[in-house]
Structure 1
Amino acid sequence: MSSIIVKLFSVIFVLMIFPKWSESVNVYSLETRYIEVPIDHFSATATSKTFNLRYLINSKNYVKGGPIFIYTGGEREITIAAQNTGFLFEISPIFNALIIFVEHRYYGTSLPFGNASFTITENLRYLTTTQVLADFAFLIQELKKNFFPNFSQADTKTEPIIAFGGYYAGMLAAWLRMKYPYSVRAALTSSAPLFYFPGLTSCEGYYQKVTQIFERYGQEKCVKTIKLGWDIIENLAKSKIGMDYISSTWKLCSKLKTAEDVQILIDWLSNIFIELSMANYPYPSEYYNPVPAFPVMVFCDKLNTAYFNDTKGFIQSFANALQIYTNYTGRITCNNIYSKEEDLNEVAWKYQTCTELIMPKCSTAQDMFITNNWVYEQFALDCYKKFGVKPKPNFVFLAYGVNKLKYYTNMLFSSSTIDPASWGVVDLNKADKTDKSLVTYQIMDAPHLMEFRGTNPSDNDYILQARKFYISILKKWLK
C-alpha cells in the first residue's frame, strides 16, 4: 500500500459557466487530480492492480487548518455533481474550507480496467459499495497527510472533514460515516433513500410522488391524458404502419420494428416524466437535459391546450409537448430512445441495482404510469440474464445496519416534499432509538437537491431556511 502515491495533475478544469439566470459564482474553477487506488482494496496479493480515481479540488477559500468538504460521487460523472452543488462553493468562505468532489469508480473517467471495464462482465465484480467507500477513505487518508501537517495515524482525534451527497451520493456519504467514522466527522445528506430497500419501504411511492408533481403543476387533466396515452401508444404500435407513424412523428433516430422496441420507447417516455419532475426548478436548468423553468408546467400546458380527435392527433400533440425536454435548444435532429442502453454510466448503475442496491419501483392505478408489479423472482432472472449475477437484497442491512441508526452519530438526513428521490429517506421513527446528533430535516416545495444548488432569485423561503440550517449544523459539527 505504501508504494501507492498520489498523482497530481496541474490541469485546471473550468467546470461550468452558469446560465444568465444564476447569481452564483460565475465560474467554478477546480483542479483535476488523480489518485492511484487499488482495484481491490481487500486483496493482499503482490499482483494487486491499481487505477486512477479522479477527483476535483477547489482551494480558493481554503485557509490552513480549515475543514475539508468532500462530496462523494454517485452514479454520474463527478463534473455533473460539481456543476449542480453551488452551495458548497458559497459556504466555503464562511468555513475557510477546501472543497473536494471525488468520482465513483466505474463512472466518468474513473475506470478500473479502462476501455475493458464494461466489455467483460468479470471486470464489473469490483463495482461494489464497499470498494467505493474504501476508495473514498483511501483518498481522505492522503488528504489528511497533505492538509493537516500534524496528522498522525496514531492520533485519536477526527480531522474536520465533512461528507456531502445527494440521492445515491448521499447514501454513500452516510455509509462513509458509518463504515469509516474516523475518516469523516459527519455526513450531510439530501434525498438519500437509505430506507428504500425491501422490507423497509413499499415500492409504489416513487411513481406516486412523480404523479403528484404532475397533478400539482400540470393539473389533473395532464395526468389523465398521460394515463390515456399508454393504451394509445401500445395499440397503435401493434402494426408496422402505426410504428412507422410514431417513429416519424416523434423523430426517432431508429424506427420501431419490434415489441421490444416499443417497450424501450415506453421506458424512455416514463424516464422523461421522471426527469421532468426531478428538474422542475423555477428557472431554466440542464440537470438532465436543457429545459425551461417549471418544465412540468410547460409540458402539461402544451398537452392540456392541444386539440386532437383521433389517435394520430394524440401522438402529434404528445410529440409537440415532448420537445420542451427532447429539443428545448432546437439543435436535436432526432431522438435516440436507446441512449440509456448505450450509456456506460447507465450500465454501471443497472449493475449496481442488480447486485446491492435493490430499490424496487412498482406502479399502480394510483399513479400515471403503466401498472406494473415488482416481482423479485422476475427481477432476479432479468439481472442474471443481463449480468450473470444474483441480487443481494439484504446486503445493505448486513454491511451498514441502515435500520439500526442508534449506533451512529453526526448525520443529517434532509428530504423534500416534492422530490421523488425523497421516497425512502431516513425516518428516525422507524430507525430504533437514535442519538441526538442524528437529525432529519424536511424541506417544503423543493425540487430535487435544489438546496444544494447555487443561490438564485427564485429560491423560496424553504430553500433559504434549509441552507441556513445546514450552516448551523456544520458550525456545530466543526466547533
Structure 2
Amino acid sequence: MLPSSRMPKFVAFLLVVAASLDDASAVDSKYSLETKYMKVPLDHFKWYAEEKSFNLRYLVDAKHHVQGGPIFVFTGDKGDINIYAQNTGFMFDIAPMFKALLVFIEHRYYGQSLPFGNDTFSNPQNMIYLTTTQALADFAFVIDQLKREFFENVVQYDTYPIVAFGSSYGGMLAAWLRMKYPYTVLGAISSSAPMFYFPGLSSCATFYEKVTKVFERYGRDQCIKTIKLGWDVIINLTKNKLGMDFVSSNWKLCSKISTTDDVEKLLEWLSDIYVNLALSNYHYPTDFYSPLPAYPVKVFCDKLTTSYFNDTKGLIEHFGYAIEMYTNYTGRTACNDINSKYHDITEFAFGYQMCTELIMPKCSTDADMFITAPWDFDKFAKKCYKKYGTSSSRPDWGMLIYGGKNLKYFSNIVFSNGEMDPYSCCGVSANVTSSVMAFDIIDAPHHVDLRNADMSDNNYIQSARQFHILALRKWLKLE
C-alpha cells in the first residue's frame, strides 16, 4: 500500500466541499423522497469486539404503498443516489399499479455514504472496504431491516414481495443481489448491465465499436471520418507551444495545455465526451451526464460537419464549436476543465473499483473512431498501483465470484439492453433459461427503459416496460 502522503491531496478538500452542498441544489428533483440513514457494518465479513459501522443513506417513497404491498429496491450505482432516483422514473410510474414502496439505497463510498467521512479517500487503508461484495451485503442488510419494519409476521414468511432494480453498474449489482442473496429479493430487473465486461468474456474492442455505431447511426459517415481525422490533427498541432496555445484558446480550456501529459489528458477528455454523448443519446432533452438536447450525437455531428474547413486550424475550430454543445449547452460554463475527472470523487472511487474487482478492458482498432491503441494489462496495472497503491493481479476475480457467463443456475432475472447503448456490447442479449431472460430494445439508448415514460418513446421501449411489468406480476404472484 502507498502511504497516505502519496494519495491525491485534493480528495479531502473536495469531500469537505461536497459535504456542505445541499442535495436539492445539486439535483433537479422531479420526485420527492424521504431521506433516511441506517447504520451498517463497515465490514460484513469480520467480527469485532466493538463493531465498526457507518451511516448508509437511502431514499423512500411511500406515497402509493399499502400494508403488505411489495417493496421495489434500487441498488445504488457509482454516484449520489439522488441522481439515480430522479432518473429512474419507471419505478415511480408503476408504484401506483403495484401499491409499492420505493427504496433507493446508496452505494457505499458514494454520495453521502462515506464510511470514514472526510477521511474516506485520504488513506489507502480506508478504501479496502469499497468492494461489490460489501455493497451487496449492505443492500441485503438494509432489505432485512425493511422486512422487519414493513412485514409484521417475519417468521411466517419464507419469501417476501421485494424486487431489485438497477441500471448499468447498478444493474450488475441488482442481478448479483438476486444471485448471491436469492432469499432477499424475489427477482431483479437489470437494465444495461455489462455482465460480461470482464477479461476473457468480451473483446476489448467491442465497447468503442458500439460507441462508433451510435455515431454512425445518428451522425452519418462524415462525422466518423472527421472524428478519426481529428486525432492526428490534434496530436500534431499540440507538439509545440504555439499549437497548444491555439487549442487551449479555441476550446476555452480553463488551464492552458503545456506538456505531453496535458495533451494526453486532453485526448482522454475528448474520448470521454464521445462516450458520454453515446450513452446519453436520448430522444428527448436530459441532464443525466450533462444538460443535453434530444439526440445529442446528431446535434454534435451536425455542428462538426455542416460547414467546410480549409486547414488544420479550421478543423480545430469546428471541434471547439461542436464540443461546446456538450460542455456548455446551458451557456453557464465559463471554461472547459480537462482535469475535472481527476478532481471528481465519484471518478476516483469507481476508478479504484475498476482497478480491483471491475477490470473492464478497453482497446481501439482501425474499425472504430478512436485512437488506435491495444489493451495493455501491465500498463493498466502499473497505473492502478501508482494511483491507488493497489494490486490488479486478479483480473479473473469478478468471474470467479459471480460466475461469468454461467447464468443457467440462477432464476428470476430480466436483462434489458438498448440496441444503441454502448454497454450492450457486453450484456446478456439472449434468454438463458425460462426465468433468466433478455429483452433487446431496438433503437434504444442506455437504460432508457428504467427512465420515466415519455410521449416520444418508441414501441420497443414501451414493450420493454410491459415485459418488466409481466415479470413483476409473475414473481409477485399477481397473475
Normalising to structure 1: TM-score of the pair?
0.93
CA distance in 2, matches of 1:373, 1:140: 43
Q: Which amino acid aligns with 1:211?
A: T
Alignment map for 1:309-388 (pairs within 5 Å) = 309-388=310-389
Q: 1:82 to 1:110 in 2, by over 3 A?
A: same
Paired residue for 1:119, among 99, 102, 122? 122
Runs of 4 or more consecutive aligned structure 1 residues displaced over 3 Å after TM superposition: 11-18
CA distance in 2, matches of 1:353, 1:421: 15
Consecutive unaligned residues in structure 2, runs of 5 or more: 1-21
Decide whether the 8 Å contact of 1:15 with 1:29 is kept in 2.
no
Alignment map for 1:18-417 (pairs within 5 Å) = 27-152=30-155, 155=156, 157-391=158-392, 392-417=394-419
Q: Which amino acid aligns with 2:402?
A: Y
**363-372 vs 43-52, which deviates more?**
43-52
CA distance in 2, matches of 1:343, 1:17: 20
CA distance in 1, matches of 2:269, 2:182: 40
Work out the percentage of aligned pairs sharing the same amino acid.
56
Normalising to structure 2: TM-score of the pair?
0.93
Decide whether the 8 Å contact of 2:300 with 2:322 is kept in 1.
yes
Q: Which amino acid aligns with 1:360?
A: P
Provide, for residues 94-149 of structure 1, a one-character-per-residue CA deviation record: whole Å limited to 9, x for no partner. 10000011000011111001111111111110001111001000000100000001
Decide whether the 8 Å contact of 2:429 with 2:440 is kept in 1.
no
Q: Which amino acid aligns with 1:393?
A: P
**330-339 vs 395-404, which deviates more?**
395-404
CA distance in 1, matches of 2:272, 2:386: 23
Decide whether the 8 Å contact of 2:430 with 2:439 is kept in 1.
no
Provide, for residues 78-105 of structure 1, a one-character-per-residue CA deviation record: whole Å limited to 9, x for no partner. 1111111100000001100000110000
SS of 1:340's equivalent in the other structure is: helix
CA distance in 1, matches of 2:23, 2:247: 46
Shift of 1:379: 1.3
Q: Which amino acid aligns with 1:453?
A: R
Q: 1:428 to 1:282 in 2, by over 3 A?
A: closer
Q: Which amino acid aligns with 1:442?
A: D
Q: 1:173 to 1:44 in 2, by over 3 A?
A: same
Provide, for residues 296-315 of structure 1, a one-character-per-residue CA deviation record: whole Å limited to 9, x for no partner. 11111111113211111111
CA distance in 1, matches of 2:159, 2:339: 47
Question: How many residue pairs were aligned?
Answer: 455
Decide whether the 8 Å contact of 1:39 with 1:126 is kept in 2.
yes
Q: Which amino acid aligns with 2:213?
A: Q
Provide, for residues 272-307 of structure 1, a one-character-per-residue CA deviation record: whole Å limited to 9, x for no partner. 011111111111110111111111111111111132
CA distance in 1, matches of 2:448, 2:179: 25
Q: 1:12 to 1:393 in 2, by over 3 A?
A: closer
CA distance in 2, matches of 1:456, 1:15: 24
CA distance in 2, matches of 1:200, 1:333: 43
CA distance in 2, matches of 1:16, 1:376: 37
Q: 1:461 to 1:15 in 2, by over 3 A?
A: farther
SS of 1:454's equivalent in the other structure is: coil
CA distance in 2, matches of 1:444, 1:357: 28
Question: 2:454 maps to which residue?
Answer: 456
Consecutive unaligned residues in structure 1, runs of 5 or more: 1-10, 19-26
CA distance in 1, matches of 2:356, 2:28: 37
Shift of 1:352: 0.2
SS of 1:423's equivalent in the other structure is: helix
Alignment map for 1:426-437 (pairs within 5 Å) = 426-427=428-429, 434-437=432-435
Decide whether the 8 Å contact of 2:23 with 2:82 is kept in 1.
no
Decide whether the 8 Å contact of 2:417 with 2:446 is kept in 1.
no
CA distance in 2, matches of 1:101, 1:90: 15
CA distance in 2, matches of 1:99, 1:441: 24
